[in-house]
Every structure is written in C-alpha cells, then in structure tokens.
Structure 1
Amino acid sequence: MTYIHKQFAPAKDTSVKSFAEIVRNFTPNWFAATMGTGALALVLNQFPMPLPGVHMVAEALWLFNIGLFSLFSLLYAARWACYFDEAKRIFHHPVMSMFFGTIPMGLATIVNGFIAFGPAMLGPQAIAIAHALWWLDAALSAVCGIAVPYLMFTRQEHSIEKLTAVWLLPIVACEVAAASAGLLAPHLAAQEGLLVLVLGYVLWACSVPLAMSILVLLVLRLALHKLPERDMGVSAWLALGPIGTGALGLLLLGGDAPAIFAANGHANIGDTALGFGVIGGIILWGYGVWWLALAVLKTLRYLREGLPFNLGWWGFTFPLAVYTLATFALYRATGLNLFAIGADVMTIGLASLWIMVASRTLNGVITTELFNSPCLKHPRWAARFETDVV
C-alpha cells in the first residue's frame, strides 16, 4: 500500500462574501499592505527633491497606515475569537504561517513614523509612544523569529523544491525591529538608549545571518528546480528585504553608537561601530544590487507568462522601500551622488508600484475575492495533508 501526500492549492473563490465570511477568511498576509504603505511614507519623508506636498503625503500615508493596521488587527483578532478552531490551522500551513512575520514588521513602520512625524504633531509624547510600541514590536518579532521556524521543524511539511523567499518573512522581523532601535535610541536617556542600542544589535544578529543562510538555500533551489509557480512570482523581491534592512540597521545603529557609547563611558566602542556600520552597509548594499537585478529579470519573465494578482504583490513594495532607505542612509554617510541618484530613482519606482498594487487591492476588497484563507478549503488541514490511498 502506497501513500501519496498532496499539498493543497485551493481554487480561487470569486463569490461575494458577507462580513462574517470576511472575518472567517482573514489571514495575516493582509498586514503586508501595512508594511508597504508605512515604508512608502518613511521613504517619501526622506525624498530630497523639492516637490510641493511630498511631506504632507508622507504624513497622511502614515496616519492612514495606523488606521489600516488597527482595522486589520481587529479583523484578525475577531477571527481568532469567533473561529478559533479554524484559525489555529494556520500553524500547520507551510506558507500562510510565514506571514505572521508581517504583523511586527507592519507595526515597526508605525513606530518609525512616531519618531519621524510624531514630534511635530504630539511633541515629546510621540517618543514615549514609540518607545512603548518598540518593546511590543521587538517581543513580537522575537516570538515570530523563533516560534515559526519551530513549527517548520515540528508540524509542517517542507521540501527544497517548495522553498521560496517567503521563508524569510518571520526571520526578517527581528532586523526590522533592530533598524527601529537605531531610530529610537538617540531620543532616549543615556542608559536606556544604550540598552535599546545593544538589543538592536542582538535583534540584528538573530535575523541577518539566518536570512543570509536562507538566501544561499534559495539560490540552490532556483538552480535545481527553476522558478516557482506564477502565484509565487513576486516572492522574488522578498530577498531584497533582509539585505536592505540589514544594511539600514547597521548604518542606523552605527550612527548612534559614538554618542551613546561615549555617554556611557565607552567612546572607543562607538567609533568602531560607526565604521563597521558604514562598511557593512556598503557591502550589503552591493549584495542587494545582484538580488535586485535578479528580481527584475524574474519579474519580466513572469509578466510575459502572465502574473496573477494576489496579496503577494505587496512584496514589490516593502523590500524595495527598505533598500531605498538604506541607500538614503549611505548617501548621508558617504555623500556620494551614486547613492542619492539611486535612492531618487527607486523612490519614484516604489511610489508607482504602490499605486498599482493599492488600486488592485482596493478592487479585490470591493469584490471580496482577496479574502481567501487556504486553510479553510480543506477540513482535514489539521493533518497537514490529505492522504490518498493508491
């Protein structure tokens, strides 16, 4: 007797859903929209070209993102409250469970916005809010970075041919929190600032080396099994995320280090961290050039074959945004016009991609066709896979 295990790929549901069905089908990949929207706001806030209203647009996007994140949090909490048995099936799903990482990464864009936009709106209270939210974000990131891989090792079925860059999502959350630490630390008192700075480096170390290891596996998978299915085509851009955020984290933490370590009696450590941040940021940025070029080439190929729209298209936005932010940071650190021009071009491309993806997402919300939980399509998902007897 032979058993064949089949991973389910549910058919697309195009029927209009009631609000109860929307809640029942709400999944954490929706938080990818908050990642892309919040990151675009932060990028536009640094855009140097003197275009009227850019700062106001950036601030409005950040405020909109707070509302979006709050709405998604309520909907997902409602799913767990009302459909607990169905919601917990996500722990067995080898793809959807990866999107738990989008929740703390979406929250991080809000934390960073309180630092960038908050003081002008709320005064010093904005930093206190950012500080409190950062601790929550760091905790959520650490939980995702440990718990989701543990589920991969104990409950889920994975194979090298099914590997995609989606594996990075729960891992990268920690380095996003590390970059937020780099923004927050200079606004805190000496001892508290040192604690946040050191924890920022710890979070960076919990994420970047592991993410780089996954990228090595991803190259092997692409060489052996070629490109993933079209539904996962946009995942090509996710590889840029840990590279851009890793570079940004080193630059921000390194930029903070001299003043913070000096204030705590360790000036020599701070100077070393500053140099390490700039050199490390340049090296990672250069690595990102290769992955960016590969993502563009892969996307062009997918577009020729037909690239179906899904929520994964938000993967166009956040990775490019953090890479753009790292490019802006390198320009501030080096003064090289190479980085300034590159960041400007990427900002324009990012804004164009956001408009395209947001408009198509809005259409999917109106028709309710994007509210589709793959776990619900198969009642026996708790067993992970249906077993057919041959």
Structure 2
Amino acid sequence: MGFLSNVPNGDIRQVIRHFTPNWFTANMGTGILALMLALFPYGHWGQAEIAKALWCINSFFFALFSILFLSRAIFYFRDFQKLFDHPVQSLFIGAIPMGFATIVNGFFIIWPLRPESLAVATAFWWMDVILALTSVLLVPYFMFTSQGHSMERMTAAWLLPIVPPEVTAASGGLVAPHLASAAAENVIYMSYVLWAISVLLAMGILAILLLRLTLHKLPHQDMAVSGWLTLGPLGTGAMAMITLGNADFASFHGVLAEMAHFAQMAGLMIALLLWGFGLWWMCMAIFFTLRYLREGLPFNMGWWGFTFPLGVFNAATYLLADKTGFWVFQPLGAVFTILLAFFWVIVTRKSFLGMWTGRLFRAPCLSEETGLPMSCESAQKASQKASTLVP
C-alpha cells in the first residue's frame, strides 16, 4: 500500500487541507534534542555531528510544514478558519514560533557563528518575535470569544499559545551579546517584555490547572501527555533569566552596568526558583504517566509533549550547572538528555507510522481524530449552548 493511498480520499491535496499546526511540535522536539546533544557534557561519541544532522533535518521539515500550513491558509481558507474555533487544535499555533526558536538557537549552540549566520539568526529572531506575539494574542482572543471551554476539560495544553514569548526571550539572550550596543539593547528590552507577558500568564494557568486537577482529577487518556507541558514555561522561564542576565552583563555599559550586575544575580535566583517549581511538576508528570500506562496510552501527536518541555527544563539544568557549579545539576542534565533522546525515538517512530497510514492527516476541525476531545462543530455547539444560559 503506497503512501498516497493512505491519505484522506487518496488525494495529496487532502494532506494540505487537513494539515494542522500540531505537526510543528515535531520541530520543537527534534530541535531541542539537537541542542541538548550539542550541550551534552560527557564523552565524545559524535553527538556534535548528530546534533548538526538533526538541526538540518529539523530545518527542512520546518520549511516543509510551513509551506503546507500556508498552502492550507491560501487554498482552503474556509477550512483554515475552522482551526481557530477548535478549542484544542488552535492551541498548537504556539508550536510554530517555539519550533522556529530551536532553529534560531542552533546558530549559536550547534554551529560556529559567522557574520552572515549572525545576520540571518537576528532576522529570524525578530520574525519569531512576531510569531510569538501572534500566538499569545490571537489564540487567547478566540478562547475568550468563540471557543467552548470548561474547567473540567481544561488541560496544560492551554500553555501552548502562552509559552512562545518566553521561548523567544530566551533566544534573545543568545542573540544580544553578539550585536552592537544599540541593537543588543533593543533585543534585551524586547526579550524582558516577552518574558513578562508569558511567564505571568503561565503562572495563572498553572494555578488554575492545580485547581482543575484537584476538583476533576486527571484528564482523559488522549490528553495524558499534557501533564509534561507544565515543564515548558518553568524551564524556558529559567533559561531566559540566565541568558538575559548574561546578555545584560555583556551588552550594558556605563550607567547600565550596575543594572546588568543586578539582573545577572536576580536572574540566577529567579531561575533557581522556577527550576525547583518545575521539578515538582516533573515528578507529578512522571506519576501521571505511570498511572496512564497501566490504563493504556493511545498515540496522537500530543505525544511530542514528552520532548520539548523536558528539553527546555534540561537546558535550564545545564545553565544552572554552569552558573552555580552545584554538582547535582550536570549529571542530572545528562540524565534528562538521555531520557529526552529515548522519548524522541519512540515518538518519531510512531509519528512516521501515523504518517504512512494517513491517520495523522485528518484535521479534527474537519473530522474527528483520536486524541482530541472535541471537534469544531461540537465546540461551536457547546459555545452556543453556554451562551443561551447567560442572561
């Protein structure tokens, strides 16, 4: 059986029509694995070459997914609009800037930096700023106005459109030290604004999630992996505080030099607090996963949630090891990298099998898909029903 015969209706155009942004979670997971392999502190077994290969593969697939996503917006605009009314699929719009950020970071972590690559990386970073702001503004607007939500159906997936600005902020801390003074300051100031937007909103969502889990217990098995998403804002929030503190110290001079010293010390303290909070959520995510495994854990694209959140928490661990010298962080970071690679292999294999069978090429906005609790039509009906109950 050929691939084309497995896609909806046997028509490759249906791949475009059903293409959803959750495919960009594969970019998030693959990109963060490449970065963590490049930072792995033990041995020389070719991990640098593997990291470069993964970065190139990830960049190719990001370009391919972007073409498919834009093609759907252009050629199937009415179907594309339905995405924004879906209470789960719309959240994955946040995966686009986060996947793109891993490519930007690769210029500084994986490859030798040259003037040409710095110019490209800086331009890409500003593009990522636009994408991140689009996610954090557009998706919540539709959540507030047209989608159907309830406390019982709420999951950590709500974090997906919220986290991108702080991911971009962490990348800004890598970009700024290599720029001229004025350009570096612009990147740094923008990054702090992005961090504030994202982290404070994420903390509110985590508080609501804690209440939801207490009142309504664990979500359905199809959303089991969402528990790992809680590591995302805490890991990237810690990362950004350290990278921006370093950027302040490298870029600020004169009157701002004292502020840079304070930002570096305060950033390290905030990073430690966020990392500790994230460690508690990681323990909860492990406990949840073990419980779900006993009940059965059906595969869907949400499984990529095993990778990126763990990866950014891993990155924060490596940064803390470098800044504090505390002996626990470096070996713990290595363990996280190995676990990340293990998850990536499993999820990548299952994703390719889903691509071959065509099951993953069915947009929930246009047809029901296992792993997503509500179609667009169901969401609209729920929203209409709710509106009739409000005087």
TM-score band by shorter chain is: over 0.9
Give the equivalent residue in structure 2 for 1:46: 39
Residue equivalent to 2:304 = 314
Q: Are the aligned partners of 1:244 and 1:324 in contact in 2 as well (CA < 8 Å)?
A: yes
| TM-score for the superposition, normalised by structure 2 | 0.92
Q: Distance in 2 between matches of 1:118 and 1:328?
A: 18
User: Structure 1-normalised TM-score?
Assistant: 0.92
Residue aligned with 1:49, SS? coil
CA distance in 2, matches of 1:24, 1:318: 27
What is the distance in 2 between the residues matched to 1:214 and 1:24? 32
Query: In the TM superposition, what whole-angstrom CA distance separates every residue of 1:125-180 from its partner, at most 9, and x where no partner exists?
Result: 11100000000101110111111111111111111111101100110000000000
SS in 2 for 1:197: helix
Describe how 1:183-198 pairs up with structure 2 within 5 A: 183-198=174-189
Give yes or no for the alignment of 1:59 onto 2:52.
yes
Q: Which residue of 2 is the match for residue 385 of structure 1? A: 381
> Partner letter of residue 300 of structure 1?
L
Pick the aligned partner of 2:79 from 86, 91, 95: 86
* Equivalent-residue separation in structure 2 for 1:31 and 1:266 (angstroms): 39
Report deviation, 1:337.
Answer: 1.2
Q: 1:250 aligns with which of 241, 247, 266?
A: 241
Query: How far apart, in 1, do the equivalents of 2:160 and 2:191 lie?
Result: 18
Q: 1:375 aligns with which of 332, 357, 365?
A: 365
Asked whether the 8 Å contact 1:240–1:291 carries over to 2, the reply is: yes
In structure 2, C-alpha distance between the alignment counterparts of 1:16 and 1:363, rounded to whole Å: 18
Q: Give 2:192's aligned residue.
A: 201
Indicate the SS of the match to 1:204: helix
For 2:276 and 2:190, locate their aligned partners in 1 and report how far apart those are by CA, in whole Å: 26
Q: Select the residue among 23, 26, 29 that pairs with 1:30.
A: 23
* Counterpart residue number, 1:164: 155
Question: Quick one: distance in 1 between partners of 2:222 and 2:169?
Answer: 31
**1:380–1:371: structure 2 CA closer, same or farther, 3 Å change rule?**
closer
Task: Give the direction of change, closer, same or farther, for the CA distance of 1:33–1:17 in structure 2 (3 Å limit).
Answer: farther
Corresponding position of 1:178:
169
What is aligned with 1:326? 316
Instruction: Give me the whole-angstrom Cα distance separating, in 2, the residues matched to 1:101 and 1:83.
Output: 21
Residue of structure 2 equivalent to 1:271:
261
Q: For residues 45 and 16 of structure 1, do their structure 2 counterparts lie closer, same or farther at Cα, with a shift above 3 Å needed?
A: farther
Matched letter for residue 75 of structure 1: L
Structure-2 separation of matches of 1:371 and 1:35: 19
2-structure distance, mates of 1:36, 1:196: 25
Counterpart position of 1:5:
none
Q: For 1:17 and 1:242, how far apart are their aligned partners in 2?
A: 40
Contact 1:118/1:127, CA 8 A, preserved across alignment = no
CA contact (8 A) 2:221 2:292 kept: yes
Deviation sequence 1:285-344 (CA, Å, 0-9, x none): 100110000000000001100000000000000000000000000000011111011101
Taking the TM superposition and a 5 Å limit, the aligned residue runs for 1:274-285 are 274-285=264-275
- In structure 2, what is the equivalent of residue 109 of structure 1? 102
Could you tell me how far 1:377 is from its partner in structure 2?
2.4
Aligned to 1:6: none
CA distance in 1, matches of 2:96, 2:10: 24
Higher deviation after alignment, 49-58 or 234-243: 49-58
Tell me how far 1:368 sits from its aligned partner.
1.2
In 2, Cα distance between the equivalents of 1:111 and 1:45?
Answer: 14
Distance 1:259 1:23 in 2: 45
How far does residue 14 in structure 1 lie from its aligned partner after superposition? 8.9
SS in 2 for 1:156: coil
Give the CA RMSD over aligned residues. Answer: 1.8
C-alpha distance in 2 between matches for 1:18 and 1:52: 43
> Cα 1:193–1:274, aligned 2, differ >3 Å: closer, same or farther?
same
Stretches of 4+ aligned residues off by more than 6 angstroms: 13-16
Residue identity in the other structure for 2:327: N
Write the deviation string for residues 82-101 of structure 1: whole angstroms up to 9, x where unpaired. 21111111111111111110
- Give distance in 1, aligned partners of 2:34 and 2:290: 27
Is 1:228 the counterpart of 2:219? The answer is: yes
Q: How many pairs align?
A: 373
Question: Does the residue aligned with 1:309 lie in a helix, a strand or coil?
Answer: coil
Match of 1:10 in 2: none
Deviation at 1:383, TM superposition (A): 7.7
Q: Secondary structure at the match of 1:162?
A: coil
Q: Which amino acid letter does the alignment assign opposite residue 275 of structure 2?
A: W
Q: Write the distance in 2 (CA, Å) between the matches of 1:14 and 1:225.
A: 37
Give the Cα–Cα distance (whole angstroms) in 2 for the partners of residues 159 and 310 of structure 1: 22
* Contact 2:366/2:376 (<8 A) preserved: no
2:156 & 2:266 partners in 1: Cα distance? 27
Matched, 1:18 2:18: no
Cα distance in 2 for residues equivalent to 1:359 and 1:377: 24
Report the Cα offset of residue 259 of structure 1.
2.4
Q: Deviations over 1:187-243 (max 9, x none)?
A: 100111111011111100010011011000001000101100000000000001000
Once the two structures are overlaid, the 10-residue window that deviates more, 127-136 or 107-116, is 107-116
1:136 aligns with 2:132: no
The CA deviation at 1:124 is: 1.6
Stretch moving more, 290-299 or 192-201: 192-201
Q: Which residue of 1 aligns with 2:232?
A: 241
Residue 305 (structure 1) aligns with = 295
Residue segments in structure 2 that go unaligned for 5+ positions in a row: 1-5, 369-374, 386-391
Match of 1:68 among 45, 50, 61: 61
User: Do 1:240 and 1:320's aligned partners in 2 also have CA atoms closer than 8 Å?
Assistant: yes
1:217 paired with 2:208, answer yes
Give the Cα separation in 2 of the matches to 1:274 and 1:308. Answer: 44
